[in-house]
Structure 1
Amino acid sequence: MTDEQMRLRYAGTCRLCSNSLPAGTTAIYERTTRTTRCLECTSPEPNPAASAAVSAAPAGAPATSSPVATPPPSERIVGDALRRRPPAAAVITETLRVQATAPPRSGVARLFGLTPLSRASQSWYVGAIGELEVANVLDRLGAGWRVVHAIPVGSAGSDIDHVVVGPGGVFTLNTKYHEGQSVWVASKRVLVAGQRTDHLRNARHEARRAAKLLTQAVHRPVEVRPIIAIVAARQVTFKERPTDVSVLRSAQLARWLHRQPTVFSSEDIDGLARAISDPQTWGTITPAEPDLVAFATLRESVAAARRRRRGWGAGILALPVVGIAVFQLGPF
């Protein structure tokens, strides 16, 4: 059986005439295309047995108990370009743009391991490193999970670091790289090295915006839960956990996501993943790809400078030991 007459749990759209189908409307669900059509429209490939089956799904039934009414692919799913978007794409692009204006290091600066990063590009660079680390964790979630990185939203240049959909729901992740810092978390505030941040407010706004856009895209309510992923912090202290935002170290992400109660079927996950991967969902076009080769070169230069600084530091610390040894040995 490919078609089924049923009462819709959620509002949808007829794929043939584009008329709206309010929740509770009796319509035809086409299993082969996973779309709906109204009773007034006949299928291009009629199935006489379809009208024999009528499903009256109760309004309070679980989301996985009945098919999801979605608009036709020709109207909504125009591509999945964002699925292939590399993590940290936006911040990598901005890092390279800002770094391009930095003056070259002198020979002395290179000798002593001065970082090649300018002050302006430093924050963009560490942001990219944080997003790449979180992406490595998310990309190992396994079967049943879909992850899209660096999603541009609207036309003002904002983006979402990561969107994850899986059995446990839909999540937006806001990555925060705080290397060596102490992070203090309360219900209404996150402090980093004693300084107030807007982490909670931004995470809430991001999730609400994503929920609104995804709801419009799939024509049914979509709840999106915000996560703040803390990377490289020396210490994370919780005075009181926020009720609506999950604050986690990056190393905790996979386990936490896998432990969430199941709310979506595989069909729900596939449909939402297509919407998340579609630039039209977010009201944007797919931006140009970042220069990953140039960023890898910059990253190696930063790492080399750090190694050189550590080498100088180790040498300086060793000087007293060498002096003591020479004194004990006496003159040659």
Structure 2
Amino acid sequence: MTPPVDPALPSLAPIRTTGFAAFRLLGPPAEPSTPKQVSSLATRRAGQAVMAETLRLHDGDPPRSWWRRLVGASPLSADSRPWYQGALGEIAVGRILGRLGPEWTVLHAVPVGAGVSDIDHVLIGPAGVFTLNTKNHAGRDVWVGDRAILVGGHKQHYLPHARHEAARAAKRLSAAVGEPVPVTPVLVLIEPGKLTIRQRPADVRVVTDRELLRWLKRRRPVLAPERIDRIAAAAAVPGTWHNHPAPSEDPVALQDRFAELRAIELSAQRRRGLWGLGLMVGIGAAVVGDGSDLLTALLNVGLS
């Protein structure tokens, strides 16, 4: 951009200097600037933003003592655990979406807006454009009504959030493509315990992880291939979604770090299970005998 001219200053004729004189006056030519590139959103992994937040919070957790490691205490804190569970849910849905055909474009953890918000998954294919919001409530009871969703009896704000995400995506994709792009909001529930559908919401599709793939494949085509390509090309550009897109953390390194944390958590879960089994064996031995083997059984299980 050309800087404004101050009218109080006299105008100066341009200096036309070439050759060695120009080198002495101006110095050597500057190297062409190469701004840091922001990679295509197609390289992002399922759950990438949530994994990053999980690890950030976990890095601030105090290390477990030897006793907590022995008894299988979780390495996750009350702050990092919800993010960890959320990451597992997005990863699970990402695997399911990977089974869609090549006619579909799937983007994960799409940064949107001006802050740190992201959309879990964006799908573009013959059946249209969808934003997917993943909620991991494995084993918990979920009640779905036309205007509300309850998890374990507590009302959640999932429906308005899903609507907001889809409206946001439609606005940004429409601006990037130059034509209206309708977007359907989808709420994906991961392995709910008891699912009660009182009444399905009219404008938000609510499906479980087991229903998702079949539901997508059974929808009738509404987009021609050339329009799919046009929307997908715009969707892969970070600037389509975020006001100030920035390079993200290396997805492979991030995934590896999260896998290490997951291995530690699974090991702790197994150890807790073994201690529980040892306790039951010890109690059984105490009931039928004199209970002298109780401590030995517990120690053998806990140290295995």
TM range (shorter): 0.7 to 0.9
Name the counterpart of 2:125.
Answer: 166
Name the counterpart of 1:314.
Answer: 277
How far is the alpha carbon of 1:143 from its aligned partner?
A: 2.4
Out of 214, 222, 234, the position equivalent to 1:263 is: 222
How far is the alpha carbon of 1:305 from its aligned partner?
A: 0.5
AA aligned opposite 2:89: G
Matches within 5 A, 1:1-332: 81-283=40-242, 284-289=244-249, 290=251, 291-324=254-287, 326=289
SS of equivalent residue, structure 1 residue 119: coil
How far is the alpha carbon of 1:192 from its aligned partner?
A: 0.3
The answer on whether the counterparts of 2:38 and 2:247 sit within 8 Å (CA) in structure 1 is no
1:203-243 CA deviation, whole Å, 9 max, x = no partner? 00000000000000101111100000111321211000001
Name the counterpart of 2:13.
Answer: none
AA aligned opposite 1:304: S
How far is the alpha carbon of 1:325 from its aligned partner?
A: 5.0
Distance 1:211 1:221, change over 3 A: same
How far is the alpha carbon of 1:276 from its aligned partner?
A: 1.1
User: Which structure would you say has the larger Rg?
Assistant: 2
Name the counterpart of 2:300.
Answer: none
- Structure with greater proportional helix content: 2
AA aligned opposite 2:178: H
5+ residue gaps in structure 1? 1-77, 328-332
AA aligned opposite 1:249: T
SS of equivalent residue, structure 2 residue 139: coil
How far is the alpha carbon of 1:154 from its aligned partner?
A: 1.8
CA distance in 2, matches of 1:260, 1:277: 23
Distance 1:80 1:260, change over 3 A: farther
CA distance in 1, matches of 2:146, 2:186: 14
How far is the alpha carbon of 1:108 from its aligned partner?
A: 0.8
The CA RMSD measured in Å over matched residues stands at: 1.6
TM-score after normalising by structure 1: 0.72
SS of equivalent residue, structure 2 residue 111: strand
1:47-75 CA deviation, whole Å, 9 max, x = no partner? xxxxxxxxxxxxxxxxxxxxxxxxxxxxx
CA distance in 2, matches of 1:79, 1:102: 31
SS of equivalent residue, structure 2 residue 120: strand
How far is the alpha carbon of 1:321 from its aligned partner?
A: 3.3
Most deviating of 297-306 and 262-271: 262-271
CA distance in 1, matches of 2:65, 2:138: 27
CA distance in 2, matches of 1:212, 1:305: 45
CA distance in 2, matches of 1:315, 1:286: 51
How far is the alpha carbon of 1:270 from its aligned partner?
A: 1.5
CA distance in 1, matches of 2:262, 2:173: 35
AA aligned opposite 1:97: R
CA distance in 1, matches of 2:140, 2:176: 40
CA distance in 2, matches of 1:96, 1:128: 11
How far is the alpha carbon of 1:83 from its aligned partner?
A: 0.5
Name the counterpart of 1:34.
Answer: none
5+ residue gaps in structure 2? 1-36, 291-304
Name the counterpart of 1:72.
Answer: none
SS of equivalent residue, structure 2 residue 206: strand
Percent identity over paired residues? 45
CA distance in 1, matches of 2:287, 2:38: 70
Name the counterpart of 1:50.
Answer: none
AA aligned opposite 1:232: E
How far is the alpha carbon of 1:79 from its aligned partner?
A: 7.9
TM-score after normalising by structure 2: 0.79
How far is the alpha carbon of 1:80 from its aligned partner?
A: 6.4
Q: How many residue pairs end up in the alignment? A: 250
AA aligned opposite 2:248: A
Most deviating of 212-221 and 270-279: 270-279
Most deviating of 80-89 and 217-226: 80-89
- Structure with greater proportional strand content: 1
